[in-house]
Every structure is written in C-alpha cells, then in structure tokens.
Structure 1
Amino acid sequence: MKKVKIYSQPTCPDCNNVKAYLDRKGVPYEDINVQEDKKAMEEMVRRYGIRVTPVIIIGDRVMVGFNAPKLNKLLSAED
C-alpha cells in the first residue's frame, strides 16, 4: 500500500473529511498537524509551495483539498 501523508489543521473541514474518508476505506495515513508543528508548516510551504490545507501526499503525488474521485485515482495509480 502506498504511503499517505496529510498536512492538516484541526479546524479545517476538508482536512477532517479526508481523514474520515480514509478511515472508512481502511487506508492508513500519517497526519501532520501544521497548526501545532510550525516546522511542518514551513516544510509544506518550502517543499510544495502550498499554504493551505489539506495537502495530501501519496507517493510522489501531491493533492490539495479533498476530492474523493481524484483521491481514489491517486490511491490506485501505479507508481
């Protein structure tokens, strides 16, 4: 299974929706709370040039926001 990493914030509705969606599908993920971890926020901005959440990393692919069909495609895509 592909490694999934989510940069999120507790008050972000899309962040909570994507995590609930992955939980329902049984997909494990690493959740990084950028509100608590300022270094993670800096890394997200520096590495990906993105300042909003959620940022979902699947393998080497990056997705911003929550879109279930697109997320499914990324989860099932061949590397």
Structure 2
Amino acid sequence: MAEVIVYTTEPCSYCSRVKMLLSKRGIAYKEINLARDADGRSALAEKTGMLSFPQVVIDGELIGGFDQTVAADRAGRLAALAA
C-alpha cells in the first residue's frame, strides 16, 4: 500500500475536507500538521513549490491541494496511486 501524507495547518476547512475524502475512499494517511512549525512549512514550500494547504503526497509524488486531489479522485487516479 502506498504511503499517503497529508500536510495540514489550522484552521483549514480544505484540510478537513481532503481528510474526509481520503477516509471515505478507505485510503489510510498520515497527517503532518505544520500549524506551529514555521521551519517545517518553509521546508515543505521549498520541496513542493506550494504555499497553500492541504498538500497531499503519495509515495513522494505531490498530488496537490484539495482541488487537485478531488480531480484525481474523479479521474480514478487517486485510488490507483494509493493502492
């Protein structure tokens, strides 16, 4: 099974929504909350090029934020990547 990591912050309604989507699809994930970790946020931004949250990463591949994760789900790509 793929390693799924969801980088979050708070408050973040899109973070909650992406976690609900993954849970509905039966996709286990690890959450890393960077709300109180400025260095972690900077390192993640350097790594992914994204400043917004959530950020979904599957086996080291950036899927993107909420909209990109929903699009991957609708295209059937999310289930394939997480398998």
Structure with a larger share of its residues in helix: 2
Shift of 1:29: 0.9
With normalisation by structure 1, the TM-score equals 0.80
The residue that corresponds to 1:24 in the other structure is 24
After TM superposition, the runs of 4+ consecutive aligned structure 1 residues lying more than 6 A away are none
2:78 partner amino acid: L
Aligned-pair identity in percent equals 24
The residue that corresponds to 1:41 in the other structure is 41
What are the equivalent positions in structure 2 for 1:50-69 lying under 5 Å apart?
Answer: 50-67=50-67, 68-69=70-71
CA offsets 1:6-63 (integer angstroms, 9 cap, x no match): 1111211111101011122221111111112223212211111211111100113212
Partner Cα separation in structure 1 for residue 65 and residue 47 of structure 2: 17
The 8 Å contact of residues 61 and 74 in structure 1, kept in 2 or not, is answered as: no
Stretches of structure 2 that go unaligned for 5 or more consecutive residues are none
Stretches of structure 1 that go unaligned for 5 or more consecutive residues are none
The verdict on how the C-alpha distance between 1:26 and 1:74 changes in structure 2, with shifts beyond 3 A counting, is: closer
The residue that corresponds to 2:78 in the other structure is 74
Report the count of equivalent residues.
Answer: 78
